[in-house]
Amino acid sequence: MPVTDELMACFRERFGSEGDIRVYFAPGRVNLIGEHTDYNGGHVFPCALSMGNYGVARKRNDKTVRWFNMTYPENGVITADITKLAPEDNGLWYDYQLGVLWAFMQKGYEIPCGYDMVMISDMPAGAGLSASASIEELAAVIAKDLFSLDVTMSDCAVIGQYSENNFNGMNCGIMDQFASAMGKKNNAIFLDTDSLEYEYVQLNLKAERIVITNSNVKHQLAGSAYNERRSQCESALRDLKEVIDIKTLGDLSESEFDKNADAIKDPVNRKRAKHAVYENSRTIRAVHALRSGEIEAFGKLMNESHVSLRDDYEVSCPEVDILVEEAWKVEGVIGSRMTGGGFGGCTVSIVKNDHIDEFKDRISRVYREKTGLDAAFYIADAADGARRLL
């Protein structure tokens, strides 16, 4: 049974079949290069995935929301009064939904009533593929459509980021929400996170595919360490501003950073800032290489990105390092790196079509030998962003 049919059947069972029932989808994302640059005023290069969160929704006549998630049926039906929302985070899926409604109202948009909604996910949670942003953009596109809100999908991305920063307490950048909201089939998004100027870039992978490998680990320090990295970069930026006129770390070239790096007092903060500056430069060069058909150069920059994330930003972990280092040994692998916030989750690799089976077989075997864990693989297709389906 198609997932939308499953959702509709569950909705009718839980909430009845009358009225105007609508179907929505918001994708997850994979970032090809440009990690931890989005809150540093740099460039990113993500694409939306065909995996994500589906939702079926119908307006109510009161101020109540009722939500049921088929992926987590043990939570039961979640009920909330939209007039009494306040920032909180229990680490559960519905906090991201509540946060978006709260954020719309904080920004002055009217949410005139509540709604009933059933959702389901076909993507792994905690894998670094932005399940949280997918939930946020699902909530945003539902509110935009049900209540005829005068917002663009770019606005929905900003609302999603605002809600995660201020309702959920995660100081994320804009990339995840922007990719989920603004994705385009067969394209990645070259986004300047400082100005929000963006371009769609065709992937043009003819003999290669994007392969996502899930380590199936997520270390508990991910959330706190993410906020810590952002704080470290902000401290480094303050030091640099004393000697050079910049607004963000993304304003610096590699050579400008090298000339002024000693102004950063803390050596750890200096490493964090170096990653942000060099990763921004790598991302710009990687997009130029892809446009020029230089896929091997793109892959080399992916590899350099992982080394920087491992050594300078220190957001990788042993399991993910094994996946990447083993991928580098496989013939036909153009490039491989961790993707997402770090401390577990997924890697992203570009692999020649005729070596994908070898890639999966070798990585599966070695990863199990070294960690006792099973890796999972997804062939990624760049897909359209959040939208109403029916």
Q: Among the options 176, 194, 251, 312, which is catalytic?
A: 176
Residues in the chain: 390
- Cα-Cα-Cα-Cα torsion 95, 192, 268, 263, nearest 10 degrees, comes to -140
The sheet with strand 46-59 has its strands ordered as: 78-81, 64-69, 115-121, 46-59, 22-31, 387-388
The reply to whether 374 belongs to the active site is no
Q: Do the beta carbons of residue 167 and residue 150 sit within 8 Å?
A: no
Q: Which of 285, 258, 294, 287 is nearest to 273 (CA)?
A: 258
Does residue 269 sit in helix, strand or coil? helix
3-state secondary structure at position 176: helix
Per the listing, tokens 């990447």 go with: 324
Distance from C-alpha of 378 to C-alpha of 388, rounded to nearest angstrom? 25
Are 342 and 315 in contact by the 8 Å Cβ rule? The answer is: yes
C-beta separation of 80 from 90 below 8 A: no
DSSP for 339-384 reads: ESSSSEEEEEEEEEGGGHHHHHHHHHHHHHHHHS---EEEEE----
Which residues, 6 or more positions from 118, have their beta carbon under 8 angstroms from its beta carbon? 7, 10, 11, 14, 15, 55, 56, 67, 68, 69, 70
Sheet containing 208-218: which strands, arranged edge to edge? Answer: 333-339, 344-352, 208-218, 376-380
Token pair 């394209």 is found at 187
- Known catalytic residues are 176
